[in-house]
Structure 1
């Protein structure tokens, strides 16, 4: 099997060269870059970028990079009508992969784009690059668990956590909540 690795590597390099040549004229122009609490990749960065070919606007892409920097999540990829069927979407994804060098993951493959993603996976695999299966809404929370330990705590969450730590320490010390003290039930009734 070791004999086939150089052959495989040769074909991967050849396909990568072909895709790099096709993507040479594609440029991603970042229009928005932000870290937004509540967004899928938080505390990773999310981007909106215009797709330009030979200085002309050809489409747009929205994507996010998780805080582990091990995946690029594609939220939306749109090529304008007169620029379609020229391989620009695949070239855009290649440009994105060349920039970040991590697997690409579409969040939702809508019915009209299933064929595109299937072809893109085959072309990328021929170059030794992975486009992972899309992450359906139900699986997104599971995916976010991979980097939950990196999500910073909000002020509100911190104050609630501190309060419950205080309640636990009071209880552990044998000091029950007496008249005039705030009880957990009081907090639950008066939240929000």
Structure 2
């Protein structure tokens, strides 16, 4: 191991310790856990959770885990009233990362939160943890293609696919098939 790696490891451990201390007392209380067709992470699971600090409600977080279990997508993170400006959002993200240990990805960084996400990326990177850039609406469909092969086919979709496969096989065999056949 070279000197640079030793120094990097030292600072990663130091920053991890700081984040762990900040997350002490922060608890995520799952309020909803669902897999809903049509939602971003489908067939992964989506969650709504309350954020509690020392037993007191401090905010909410909505997030999803894709079916590959390789990303946690942050939909919304809200810290309420007097709980703001105390590092609770960062502590919440750390708690989430400790639970799943995969990169965190905000779906859309609103203008007022750009500074927060920038600071969080730097703090987490110092601990050796990745927070990826946000996925804008146009990029979400491309991201979903990574697990598209895991999306179960509905009965209607399967029937339509089988019909068009039959039409194709009939046409290939020289027998006209399909809509408008005389």
Q: For the superposition of Structure 1 and Structure 2, which TM-score range results when normalised by the shorter chain?
A: over 0.9
Counterpart residue number, 2:18: 18
Counterpart residue number, 1:184: 179
Counterpart residue number, 2:168: 168
Q: Deviations over 1:49-75 (max 9, x none)?
A: 000001111000000001111110000
- Report the Cα distance in structure 2 between the residues aligned to 1:90 and 1:80, rounded to whole angstroms: 14
TM-score (norm 1): 0.91
Q: Deviations over 1:22-57 (max 9, x none)?
A: 101000000000111000011110000000001111
Counterpart residue number, 2:120: 120
Gaps of 5+ in 2: none
- Report the Cα distance in structure 2 between the residues aligned to 1:159 and 1:115, rounded to whole angstroms: 49
Counterpart residue number, 1:189: none
- Report the Cα distance in structure 2 between the residues aligned to 1:163 and 1:48, rounded to whole angstroms: 40
Gaps of 5+ in 1: 178-182, 187-192
Distance 1:185 1:118, change over 3 A: farther
Counterpart residue number, 2:151: 151
Instruction: Map residues 1-192 of structure 1 onto 2, 5 A cutoff.
Output: 2-177=2-177, 183-184=178-179
- Report the Cα distance in structure 2 between the residues aligned to 1:176 and 1:109, rounded to whole angstroms: 53
Q: Which has the larger radius of gyration?
A: 1
- Report the Cα distance in structure 1 between the residues aligned to 2:13 and 2:51, rounded to whole angstroms: 25
